[in-house]
Amino acid sequence: MSTLELVLNMLAEATTTAISKKQLPETFEQNKSVARAGGEAAGEARAAVEKRTGEPVITAKNSVDFSRLISDVIEPPGTDKQSE
């Protein structure tokens, strides 16, 4: 999962929350509509980023791969803190 994927996911969640607070949905169908609207907003942002960069935002990496990447930046592979 790339940084942009994480940010767009957060945008979808935050947008959904904002819409939900404004519309105060009561039924499952109303909540589903709010969730779709939040996802659509993030989808529009994703399309805009892809148009401007010419590259896809979605990657084959998952959150575990991203976590390893961050860990490797903090502590490079082959470095064993326990042996220090």
pLDDT at 26: 97
Does a structural domain hold residue 84? Answer: no
Listed range (13-22, 23-32, 65-74) with the worst mean pLDDT: 65-74
How many structural domains comprise the chain? 1
Higher model confidence: residue 77 or residue 2? 2
Task: For 25-38, write each residue's pLDDT tens digit.
Answer: 999 999 999 999 99
Q: Amino acid identity of 41?
A: A
Please check whether residue 40 lies inside any domain of the structure: yes
pLDDT at position 69 over 70: no
Please spell the DSSP secondary structure of 18-75, one letter per residue.
HHHHHH---SHHHHHHHHHHHHHHHHHHHHHHHHHHSS-S--S--HHHHHHHHHHHHS
Domain range enclosing 21: 3-76
Residue 83 lies in a domain: no
